[in-house]
A and B are shown apart, each in its own frame.
Chain A
């Protein structure tokens, strides 16, 4: 069955960096576009970034553009999010999710999420 397992969440100081990972299994990872979605404590869902199946096309929310970098390693079935210049507004649970069939499709599987806390 499809599994997405995030890791790398931690407590980090403002201005710091963190790298999140998502291990995928149960499907042909290289066939699917992937996304990161975040959810601040007690708040709604916010899209962060998309990446194409090959990794050649990426898109970012304006709120993270220039600070976050999405990448993937299809040989290791893994998705990553490099987060730099973190601020309190980046505190959230970060979910990796699979796009059903291309960028303009819903997110059909989600991981359990990893918590990022930005605080001094």
Chain B
């Protein structure tokens, strides 16, 4: 199984500042045949289901504000939230969908709060 490890577990950032969340996979999720990283990021607000933010490591889902961006390749990935807004308070999860046979695993989550 591919283990996804996020850091930090929680962070507090001031409004208008930048938040950075890291995700490390226990093995590469880069598929060399198509040069795609099988990595997604989700946002989950209290009492709500997760919402897809980023997929293929850096592609923003339709409707997601451009202050959200994803980067990284292979085993190390980052979700960056620029100009933090109050509505960004949530738990953020990374997910790999590379494993075969198909199974998917999530990071443990990172709780983002306002400082």
Contact = CB atoms under 8 A, between A and B. Distances in A.
A32 interface: no
Contacts of B52: 106-109
Contact of B49 (A50, A103, A105, A112): A112
A59 B102 CA distance: 7
Contact of B98 (A35, A47, A104): A104
A10 interface: no
Contact of B55 (A50, A59, A97, A100): A100
Interface in A75-99: 95, 97
B104 interface: yes
Chain B at the A interface: mostly helix, strand, loop or mixed? Answer: loop
B74 interface: no
Given A107-B52, A108-B52, A113-B49, A44 B103 contact: no
Q: How large is the interface on B (under 10, 10 to 19, 20 to 34, 35 or more residues)?
A: 20 to 34
Contacts of A108: 52, 55, 61
Contacts of A95: 49-50
A44 B93 contact: yes
Interface of A: 35, 44-47, 50, 59, 61, 95, 97, 100, 103-113
